[in-house]
Amino acid sequence: MFRQRLIMTLVLIPLVLGGVIFAPHQGFVATMVLLLCGMSYEWQQFVSLKELDTPVFKTFLIFLGSILVAYFSSFFLYVDLIFWGLAVFFILNYPKYTQNWVNTGFISFVGWLLLGMFAAIICEWQQTTEGVELLFCVLFIVWSADIGAYLFGRKWGRHKMLPVVSPGKSWEGLFGGMLLVFVVAYLESLYVAPESLLAWLALAMVTAVISVFGDLWISVLKRNVNLKDTWHIIP
């Protein structure tokens, strides 16, 4: 599994970075549409509601999210916050409440809607130099949190964070991920925001914590539907 993911990472990172920098905007948007199809396919594994499990409905939600975020971005920011607030609640209280709420229409609807929002935001960022820089910074922060957590957790991981949710995650791994994020964010700030070092570091740490909860949320969803792996297309 690790070897597959490592190989795929080494292949995808140059493609992602090169696509963001060099691809014409129309081509980038077309690529995002294909990526959305793949993400929608993976997301539907977590949903047991048959009335929502149709390609037409999922496609509609994805493009609805892409369109709406362009016009009501501030409103859907609140929807996003509500979604992640519920996700944190379910993570910290797992398995209590999970069976009754995780597979509800709201979770399913917002999940697909967020895919469209994600694509719309990425496509908007790709059009400007500042947006590309911000996208790169976010990617490197999330990658650093993941890599640092894996390396530290594998070497020194002894104390489990939430074993009932994700037995492989440890506090030592979290510390390692945050440490690497701090280093990467500091280097980023020298180029992006040298006059706002503390604010940039704080924002990077918050982003890293959100990425950790995102990973834990996927673990909750997997356990709720007895799914071992979340991928069928890309490891």
pLDDT of residue 4: 64
- Please compute, for residue 165, the number of CA atoms within 13 A of its CA located in the half-sphere on the CB side: 26
- The whole-model pTM stands at 0.76
Token pair of 214 as six digits: 């995102």
Q: Which of 135, 133, 108, 138 is nearest to 44 (CA)?
A: 108
Give the Cα separation of 155 and 230 in Å (integer).
25
Q: pLDDT digits over 46-95, tens only?
A: 665 554 555 556 566 666 665 665 555 566 667 777 777 888 888 888 87
CA angle 22, 231, 160 (to 5 degrees): 105
pLDDT for the residue 26? 77
pLDDT at 6 over 70: no
- Give the pLDDT band (50/70/90) at residue 171: very high
C-beta separation of 113 from 106 below 8 A = no
**DSSP for 9-28?**
HHHHHHHHHHHHHHS-HHHH
Higher pLDDT residue, 188 or 194?
Answer: 188
Phi-psi region of 97 (alpha: psi -120 to 50; beta: other; left: phi over 0): left
> Could you tell me if 84 and 210 are in contact, meaning their C-beta atoms sit under 8 angstroms apart?
yes
Domain ranges of the chain: 25-127, 129-228
Quote the pLDDT of residue 47.
62
State the pLDDT at residue 108: 64
Residue pLDDT, tens place only, 92-148: 888 777 666 665 566 666 666 677 777 777 777 778 878 888 888 888 898 899 889
